[in-house]
Structure 1
Amino acid sequence: MNRRSILRGLALGAAATPAAVLLSGPAQAATYSVVATEQVANRLYVWPTGKSLSWDNRSWSWSPGTGGWSNLSDVRLRNTSAHGWVVLTAASGGRVGIINHTSEKDAELNDLLWYATPGGNPHAIERIENNGSIVAASSNGYLTLYSPTAISKPSTLAKVASYSLPGAHGVLWDPGSKLLWAIGDKVIRWYAVTGTYRGTRLALKGSKAISGLGHDLQPDYKDKTRLLFTASYGTYAINTATKAVTTLSSETRVKALARHSSGEYVSIRADNTGSRTWGSPTLRFSTLADRSRTGAEFYKVRIWTPSYE
Structure 2
Amino acid sequence: MDTSPETSGAAAPATYKVAITEQHAGRILLFDRNAQWTDANVRWSFSTGNATGWDHPFEIRFRDTQRYGMIALMTFGKPGEGRAAIVNVSSKAHLTRADVLWSARITTYPHCIERVPGTGTVVVAGSRDRLHVFGPSSSDPATLKEVQTLAFTKAHAVLWDDQNGLLWVTGGTVIRSYRVTGTMRDARLVEQGADIAIAGNGHDIQPDYSKPGTLLVSDSHHVYSLDKKTRKVTTLVKMAYPKSYVRHANGQSMWTTDTNEDDSAWGGPTVHFSVGGDRTRAGAQIYKARLYTTQFH
Q: TM-score range by the shorter chain?
A: over 0.9
What is the CA–CA distance in structure 2 between the aligned matches of 1:25 and 1:202, rounded to whole Å? Answer: 39
**How far has the Cα of 1:308 moved from its partner?**
1.4
Q: Which moved more, 1:216-225 or 1:272-281?
A: 272-281
Aligned: 1:95 with 2:83 = yes
**Aligned pairs for 1:263-278 within 5 A:** 263-272=251-260, 276-278=264-266
**Aligned pairs for 1:125-204 within 5 A:** 125-150=113-138, 152-204=139-191
Residue 278 of structure 2 corresponds to which residue in structure 1?
290
**Aligned pairs for 1:2-17 within 5 A:** 16=2
Structure 2 unaligned segments of length 5 or more: list them: none
**How far has the Cα of 1:307 moved from its partner?**
1.0
Give the conservation status (yes or no) of the 8 Å contact 1:42–1:70: yes
Q: Which amino acid aligns with 1:87?
A: A
Note closer, same or farther for the CA distance 1:54–1:230 as it changes in structure 2 (3 Å cut): same
Aligned: 1:110 with 2:93 = no
Equivalenced residue count is: 291
2:67 alignment partner, one of 82, 90, 115: 82
Deviations 1:100-150 (A, max 9, x none): 112522111111000001211000000001112100001111100000111
2:22 alignment partner, one of 38, 42, 59: 38
Q: Give the % identical residues.
A: 37
Aligned: 1:221 with 2:209 = yes
What is the CA–CA distance in structure 1 between the aligned matches of 2:75 and 2:5, rounded to whole Å? Answer: 26
Q: Which amino acid aligns with 1:96?
A: A
Give the conservation status (yes or no) of the 8 Å contact 1:123–1:138: yes
Give the conservation status (yes or no) of the 8 Å contact 2:7–2:274: no
Deviations 1:178-233 (A, max 9, x none): 10000010000000000111110000012111101011111111111011011012
Give the conservation status (yes or no) of the 8 Å contact 2:6–2:252: no
Structure 1 unaligned segments of length 5 or more: list them: 1-14
Give the conservation status (yes or no) of the 8 Å contact 1:276–1:297: no
**Aligned pairs for 1:229-268 within 5 A:** 229-268=217-256
**How far has the Cα of 1:274 moved from its partner?**
9.7
What is the CA–CA distance in structure 1 between the aligned matches of 2:295 and 2:48, rounded to whole Å? Answer: 25
Residue 63 of structure 1 corresponds to which residue in structure 2?
47
Q: Which moved more, 1:270-279 or 1:25-34?
A: 270-279
What is the CA–CA distance in structure 1 between the aligned matches of 2:125 and 2:215, rounded to whole Å? Answer: 17
Q: Which amino acid aligns with 1:181?
A: W
Q: Which amino acid aligns with 1:41?
A: A
Q: Which amino acid aligns with 1:174?
A: D
What is the CA–CA distance in structure 1 between the aligned matches of 2:284 and 2:32, rounded to whole Å? Answer: 17
Q: Which amino acid aligns with 1:99?
A: V
What SS is found at the alignment partner of 2:87? strand
RMSD: 1.4
- Please report the TM-score for the alignment, with normalisation by the length of structure 2: 0.95
Q: Which amino acid aligns with 2:273?
A: F
**Aligned pairs for 1:12-27 within 5 A:** 16=2, 20-23=3-6, 25-27=8-10
What is the CA–CA distance in structure 2 between the aligned matches of 1:182 and 1:149, rounded to whole Å? Answer: 25
Q: Which amino acid aligns with 1:32?
A: Y
What SS is found at the alignment partner of 1:169? strand
Q: Which amino acid aligns with 2:4?
A: V
Residue 4 of structure 1 corresponds to which residue in structure 2?
none
